[in-house]
Amino acid sequence: MSEKLEVSFNSPQCGWMSIGFDNFDSEFHTTTSHEPHEKALAELLRILSDLLEENPTQNEYVLQWNRNPEEFDFRFVRTGENLLLEIYQYPTETRESAEREKVFAHEGSVKEVCAAFAVTFNQLYADRDTDEFEFNWRQPFPFEEFAEFKSKLDAKRI
């Protein structure tokens, strides 16, 4: 049985955001940049929303994000009601697969993984004005994608 996943996206500062993943067996913490993958948060929410569908449009997604010069792939693979999350780190923006390293992996139910992301996105949303999210992340908060994600979570009673 898998351990519970905890996801943390801390308040952004100067275009950077500290993120963390912990399942009590392993953990991974890093910072991410608002560019060049400026739509990463919105895309992540779209991926999670689609994975919550009874029949998602696809069963595997890869989200690209970076820390400059390191790059990351967040890979989501759904098999039935199970979801595998793998995070790969590349040493440079060239993204050579031979040089990538798996830095975190977690397998759990789709509901459990999406609920873990919901906790951190709810916190980002609640603190967005106090933390001056748009100024500090240098990108707008993904309101539309967040609303869709919350709607799908509510429909699943998560």
Task: Give pLDDT, residue 1.
Answer: 45
| Residue 24 placed within a domain | yes
Write down the pLDDT at residue 3: 75
Structure tokens at 135: 């100024």
What is the reported pLDDT for 13? Answer: 96
Quick: pLDDT tens for 78-127: 999 999 999 999 998 889 989 999 999 999 999 999 999 999 999 999 99
- 148 is a domain residue: yes
Asked if residue 80 belongs to a domain, the reply is yes
Specify if 126 maps to a domain: yes
Dump pLDDT digits (tens) for 24-57.
999 999 999 999 999 999 999 999 999 999 999 9
Answer whether residue 1 is part of any domain.
Answer: no
CATH for 70:
3.30.2450
Does the pLDDT at position 68 exceed 90?
Answer: no
pTM over 0.85: yes
Domain count, the chain: 1
Q: At what angle do helices 110-126 and 40-51 cross, to 10 degrees?
A: 140
Rounded to an integer, what distance in angstroms lies between the CA atom of residue 3 and that of residue 108?
A: 8
Give the pLDDT confidence of 115-146 residue by residue, as tens digits.
999 999 999 999 999 999 999 999 999 999 99
List the domain range (segments joined by +) for residue 39: 6-155
Q: What is the pLDDT of residue 158?
A: 76
User: Which two structure tokens, joined as six digits, stand for 141?
Assistant: 């908060």
Domain assignment present for 37: yes
Identify the band that residue 2 occupies on the pLDDT scale cut at 50, 70 and 90. low
Strands of 26-100, DSSP E: 27-33, 60-66, 71-79, 82-90
Is residue 125 in some structural domain? yes
